[in-house]
Amino acid sequence: MSDMTNEQGAKRRFWVIGGKYESMAFDRLVEGTECAFGPFASEDEAKSTWRSVTERTRSQATVRFTIAAEPPFGFHTQ
């Protein structure tokens, strides 16, 4: 099974999302610092971008990014 499809053949897209948080609780983003990169056709592409972004912001303790996957599309039930 590839990163792009699930067992039914539905395609997925991936995003790298995050920004600067107000505190180390990581429960509220600072307004205006939100970032999104993507969409990426594979999880590997998203991981590569995530590594790059986190490396650039590693000295900023309240900045955090994660990989998010969209629900699969292209799969229809009858």
pTM (two decimals): 0.78
Q: Residue 1: is its pLDDT beyond 50? A: no
77 falls in which pLDDT band (50, 70, 90)? low
- What are 16-67's pLDDT values in tens digits? 999 999 999 999 999 999 999 999 999 999 999 999 999 999 999 999 999 9
What is the C-alpha to C-alpha distance for residues 51 and 38, in angstroms, rounded to an integer?
A: 14
In a domain, 9, yes or no: no
In a domain, 1, yes or no: no
In a domain, 38, yes or no: yes
In a domain, 7, yes or no: no
Give 11: exposed, middle or buried? Use CB within 10 Å, 0-12, 13-18, 19+: middle
